[in-house]
Amino acid sequence: MTDPTGHEAVPTPPTSAAVARRAGVSRATVSYVFNGQAAGRVGAGAQARVRAAAEELGYVPHAAARSLRAGRGRIVLLAAPADTAPVFGPLFADFLAGFQSALHRLGYTGVLHGAPADAPLDAARAWAELRPAAVLTLHDPPLDASAVDLLKRAGTAAVLTPGPQAPPGAHALLLDQSEAGRRAGAHLLAAGRRRIGVVLPAEPGLAASADPRLAGVRAAAAGHPDAAVHPLDLALTEESAARLVARWPALGLDAVFAYNDAYAMLLMRALQDAGHAIGTGPGRIAVVGADDLLLARLLRPRLTSVRTEAIAPDRLAHLVDTLVRAPSTPPATHRLGTFRVVPRASG
Amino acid sequence: MTDPTGHEAVPTPPTSAAVARRAGVSRATVSYVFNGQAAGRVGAGAQARVRAAAEELGYVPHAAARSLRAGRGRIVLLAAPADTAPVFGPLFADFLAGFQSALHRLGYTGVLHGAPADAPLDAARAWAELRPAAVLTLHDPPLDASAVDLLKRAGTAAVLTPGPQAPPGAHALLLDQSEAGRRAGAHLLAAGRRRIGVVLPAEPGLAASADPRLAGVRAAAAGHPDAAVHPLDLALTEESAARLVARWPALGLDAVFAYNDAYAMLLMRALQDAGHAIGTGPGRIAVVGADDLLLARLLRPRLTSVRTEAIAPDRLAHLVDTLVRAPSTPPATHRLGTFRVVPRASG
């Protein structure tokens, strides 16, 4: 059997009304049992009958329907491009795993929505269809005021977007990428480096963190009139690295902050293959990455790296829970972490 | 104002009934417009009035409610641990990005559900609350028959679990990890290697692919009576690699298939630091990884790697769409890809 759009019909899932009939209780009682509100309202015998009837019928509560009844949803939507993990690195994947576990313990269903970033309003509409209790976006560009408004009208209690600025009504989540650049720049300047290259990845989606990192290095260099900062375009391919290294003698750089460890490893290998010495000593090129990957310690010299010290994922989950429970909390900026340099032999 | 669970009330989202009232049409008309069924049923003027009313009220259709009405959902749930990306490597993240884009083009909302793997029935219940049209799991252990049944009763048209075996009612998605082992083993045996180590990662969640990879190497070696295969425990830390390398002279291995490129890079570096020569020549230890990472080509010698040749992500999205449209399709096994060796200098 097919419906007008050419789909076969799927059996209708069992409803809470059917469970109530089978257990001989009201629908409200079924609702109390499945929303964790049975204590003091539903006796132990009735609770057992409801659970047995649900088991027999194969009933599970409907997250979205429940969210409408309860006035809040249980879905926390993390809106991030599906390729966020490689962009943000393994630290992000670890953080995400911890965040989803923490949400689970708080009774939420965390889902990652990775569809392509559309216009803000289209994206917000797609997310609103899931009736989330909270939306955290990592999208670039961030939402605008009308997108936040649409989510709020669809019952989303808390909208959190990347800082430093957030649209009206939304909270800002701040991981200040310029700090990563300031730390890397200050480290290299303190070691006497004055001609500092800063890698700007050619891969899409990284400008939102690469540009503030460059600005951070420039801010660090501002106090040193003899220092110069040079942006360097680099794609994550051996060919691109070889092209950049061919220009190196003309650039005359004595240090590079390479965006992250992957770009740093690629560039360091290409510099070495062209006969440049890498390291902290005189006449060597200092190379600094970011993310503090294990693999980056396998090259020689071992890579100096800017490490992200993120807040514990359960702190973020608790923040979301707090905002969902009190949706009128005035929007604020919430800091996600800081950065520090882990000095090793490369620079 | 707070509800009995201590939550502030959230404004109720605008309903399709409110849109219908404002546009002066029936609820069915609103439903036709938002379910892509307006052609031939709703005039252009009424369609425009419905969209204008929805815009003014901030109405968005409710994905889950719509799925109940339409007899199928629009959510495709990819149930994978949130730390799947690092486990499966960057190839998986790329695949996921392509898969979600392809679902989006087909009118689905792809969400990644990364909560911890519970007992199969608990996991299925959590997923069923989202009323997905299809569920693809990468969980280990896979679902059982009652979990599949629960999902089907909740209206899930297609359940796809990792193969080679699938529980009754579910389709099997097969990426035959033993083939990766067979290819690596055959490559090393053809090069004359006879004492082959196979890395079994100590990190959790990898046994489901590591064990069949080991079995594959053993299958390749079965035709060579003078060949021996040795499982090697290794954690992704420099200390663990140093401990394994300290035992190397006693093991007397001339080759190692190191599970993936990260373990291979770690082990190769530790072997080199201990004075072992790596490569294809006599007296050298052959090292083979998997995933064909860019970073693995940065070490010297460049790493030989087993590459996954996955099906195009839109082929998987189209398979899901086909199964959702025809939920009575008999369960089958669907191959996700094959493997091949990319020979380089390391082995």
Chain A residue nearest residue B59, CA to CA: A154
Q: Report residue A78 CA to chain centroid gap.
A: 8
User: Positive or negative CA dihedral for A174, A175, A181, A186?
Assistant: positive
Q: Which of residues 48-77 of B touch A (CB under 8 A)?
A: 57-58, 60-66, 68, 70-72, 74-75
Structure tokens belonging to residue A327 = 């949706």
Report the amino acid identity of residue B111: V
Q: What pLDDT does A244 receive?
A: 98
What does the pLDDT read at residue B105?
85
Beta strands in chain A (DSSP E): 75-79, 109-113, 134-137, 158-162, 171-174, 195-201, 228-234, 255-257, 286-290, 304-310, 333-335, 337-342
Chain B hits for A295, CB-CB cut-off 8 Å, are 262, 265-266, 295
User: Could A7 and B324 be called an inter-chain contact, meaning their C-beta atoms sit closer than 8 Å?
Assistant: yes
The CA distance from B194 to the nearest CA of chain A, in Å, is: 28
Q: How far is CA A154 from the centre of its chain?
A: 23
Cβ contacts of B8 on chain A, cutoff 8 Å: 157, 325-328
| Burial class for A18, CB neighbours closer than 10 Å (0-12, 13-18, 19+) | middle
What pLDDT, on a 0 to 100 scale, did the predictor assign at position B87?
Answer: 42
Report how far residue A154's alpha carbon sits from residue A158's, in angstroms, rounded to the nearest whole number: 11
| Tens-place pLDDT, residues A331-340 | 999 998 899 9
Q: Is there a contact between A109 and B112 if contact means CB atoms under 8 Å apart?
A: no
| Contact (CB, 8 A) for B201 and B259 | yes
> Is B111 in Cβ contact with A93 (below 8 Å)?
no
Q: Count other Cβ atoms within 10 Å, centred on residue A225.
A: 8
Peptide bond into B301 cis (omega under 30): yes
Instruction: Give A319→chain B minimum CA distance, Å.
Output: 14
The band of A345, judged by pLDDT with boundaries at 50, 70 and 90, is very high
ipTM of the predicted structure? 0.71
Contact B64 A60 (CB under 8 A): no
pLDDT digits (tens, 9 = 90+) for A22-66: 999 988 898 888 776 788 888 989 999 998 998 888 777 766 555
Q: Give the CA count within 13 Å in the CB-facing half-sphere of B256.
A: 29
Cβ of A266 within 8 Å of Cβ of B295? The answer is yes
Side-chain half-sphere CA neighbours of B11 within 13 A: 14
- B72 with A265: Cβ contact below 8 A: no
Yes or no, beta carbons of B100 and A114 under 8 Å apart = yes
Q: By the 8 A CB rule, do B17 and B23 touch?
A: no
pLDDT value at residue A214: 98
Q: CB distance from B297 to chain A under 8 Å?
A: yes
Query: What is the pLDDT at residue B115?
Result: 58
Please state, in angstroms and rounded to a whole number, the distance separating the CA atoms of residues B260 and A110.
29
Helices (H) and strands (E) in chain A, counts: 14, 12
Q: Are A10 and B126 a contacting pair at CB < 8 A?
A: no
| Section A239-249 average pLDDT | 97
**Partners of residue A335 on adjacent β-strands:** A174
A1 at the B interface (CB within 8 A)? no
Domains of chain A: 16-61 (1.10.260), 75-174 (3.40.50.2300), 177-309 (3.40.50.2300)
Q: Judge: A295–B93 Cβ closer than 8 Å, yes or no.
A: no
Average pLDDT, chain A: 86
Asked if A11 and B155 come within 8 Å (Cβ–Cβ), the reply is: yes
Asked if the C-beta of A82 comes within 8 angstroms of chain B's C-beta atoms, the answer is yes
Q: A37, A94, A129: best mutation site toward chain B, by most B Cβ within 10 Å?
A: A129
From A168's Cα to the closest Cα of chain B, the distance in A is 17
The contacts of residue A243 (CB under 8 Å, 6+ apart) are none
| Tokens 């408004």, residue located | A149
Residues of B in contact with A85 (CB under 8 A): 85-86, 93
Q: Would you tell me how many other CB atoms lie within 10 Å of the CB of residue A33?
A: 24
Question: Quick check: B202 contacting A, CB < 8 Å?
Answer: no
Per-residue confidence at A82, pLDDT binned at 50, 70, 90? low
Q: Which two tokens stand for residue A117?
A: 């970033």
Which positions ≥6 away from B144 have C-beta within 8 Å? B120, B121, B167
Are residues A295 and B37, on separate chains, in Cβ contact within 8 Å? no
Q: Report the pLDDT averaged over residues A307-327.
A: 92
B111 contacts in chain A (CB < 8 Å): 111-114, 130
Gap between the Cα atoms of A309 and A74, Å rounded: 29
- Order the strands of the A228-234 sheet from edge to edge: A228-234, A195-201, A255-257, A286-290, A304-310, A337-342
pLDDT > 70 fraction of chain A, expressed in percent and rounded: 86
Q: Is B4 on the interface with A (CB under 8 A)?
A: yes
Band of the pLDDT at A124, cuts 50, 70, 90?
confident
Q: How far apart are CA B71 and CA B201, in angstroms?
A: 44
Show pLDDT as tens, one digit a residue, over chain B (347 residues).
333 444 455 456 678 888 999 999 988 898 888 776 788 888 989 999 998 998 888 777 766 555 544 445 688 998 876 555 444 455 666 777 788 888 888 888 888 876 555 678 878 887 887 888 999 987 656 788 989 998 998 889 999 988 888 899 999 998 899 999 999 999 999 999 999 999 999 987 788 889 999 999 999 999 999 999 999 999 999 999 999 999 999 999 999 999 999 999 999 999 999 999 999 999 999 999 998 888 888 888 999 999 988 889 999 999 999 999 998 899 999 998 899 999 999 99
